[in-house]
Structure 1
Amino acid sequence: MNWFSIFAIYALFWVLSAFVILPIGVRTHEELGMEKTVGQADSAPGNFRPLRVIAYTTLLSAILFGLFYANYTYGWIDRTSFDFLVKGPE
């Protein structure tokens, strides 16, 4: 696998991991007992920490990519693992 492929696949894992991590631990102003700004959406986060989200996203995506690359290298799961999904001739 060349370096560009590794980077592209890792970037995909990072973006998907970000969508998983984003809602974890976020509370609204109402849940935190904070005063809302005029015109603010009721669902706006009151305790958003972007650096923490980036760190957790990077950690999760590194773990997932490591599993993906290990599977690519050692071939634990390949396309023949899913032959049971295709009906063969009877």
Structure 2
Amino acid sequence: MPWALGTALFFIIWWILLFAILPFGIRSQHEAKDIVPGSEPGAPIVHGLKRKLIINTVLAAILWGVADWAYITYYLQP
């Protein structure tokens, strides 16, 4: 796979997975009954963004590896 195609594909996979992973594990202030005065009740208590970014990058690398394998073995051709 050419490096430009590989980079673009990884970028697309990474962003799609990020939007799929972001909602998991979020507890709002309203659900926890711990609303901070002056804030939105639907705001998350702890978002865990660093952990989600790491998980997202690992999953994107795995999926990119599968796509690269499919490209190399001619299962996937542009």
CA distance in 2, matches of 1:43, 1:33: 11
The normalised TM-score by structure 2 is 0.83
Partner of residue 11, structure 1: 11
- Rg larger in structure: 1
Partner of residue 67, structure 1: 66
Shift of 1:78: 6.3
Q: Deviations over 1:56-87 (max 9, x none)?
A: 110111111111111111133669xxxxxxxx
| CA RMSD across the alignment | 1.9
Partner of residue 88, structure 1: none
Q: Which runs of 5+ in 2 are unaligned?
A: none
The normalised TM-score by structure 1 is 0.74
Q: Which runs of 5+ in 1 are unaligned?
A: 80-90
- The number of residue pairs the alignment matches comes to 78
Percent identical: 27
